[in-house]
């Protein structure tokens, strides 16, 4: 009886863990400034974080902490993007895509 109760308790506590296994957490976005023409935000991708697929406007991105991200486009194609600390990029991709941190450390972009 005791073993059965223990097994039931372990099963109940483990269920939420397995239920969320298929969902990746979204990156954390901290808004710095915004007006009617521009938005400045710091985005932190922890390993495994995935942003939702979206069309993004042209933007300038500065890397606070580099790492490996992967873009996944709506047609299923993937593109690896390396970010080096201190690097600044102008991004003009118009197709909607999701972003995933495929590296081992945090990636912080401004």
Q: Which of 78, 56, 70 is nearest to 24 (CA)?
A: 70
- Which pLDDT belongs to residue 24? 80
CATH number for the region 24-109 comes to 2.60.120.10
User: Six-digit token pair at 54?
Assistant: 């979206």
| Separation CA 72–CA 93 (nearest Å) | 12
| Res 22: pLDDT | 57
Cα atoms in the Cβ-side hemisphere of radius 13 Å centred on 80: 5
- Give the three-state DSSP class for 6: helix
pLDDT by position in tens, the chain (length 110): 554 444 434 444 444 444 444 568 999 999 999 999 999 999 999 999 999 999 999 999 999 999 999 999 999 999 999 999 999 999 999 899 999 999 999 999 99
Q: Give the HSE-up count for residue 25: Cα atoms under 13 Å, Cβ half-sphere.
A: 8
Residue 12, pLDDT score: 40
């Amino acid at each position: 009886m005791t073993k059965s109760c223990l097994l039931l308790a372990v099963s109940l506590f483990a269920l939420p863990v397995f239920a969320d296994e298929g969902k990746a957490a979204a990156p954390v976005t901290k808004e710095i400034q915004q007006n009617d023409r521009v938005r400045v935000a710091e985005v932190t991708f922890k390993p495994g974080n995935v942003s939702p697929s979206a069309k993004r406007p042209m933007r300038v991105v500065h890397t606070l902490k580099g790492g490996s991200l992967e873009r996944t486009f709506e047609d299923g194609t993937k593109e690896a993007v390396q970010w080096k600390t201190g690097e600044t990029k102008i991004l003009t991709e118009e197709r909607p895509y999701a972003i995933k941190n495929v590296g081992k450390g945090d990636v912080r972009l401004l």
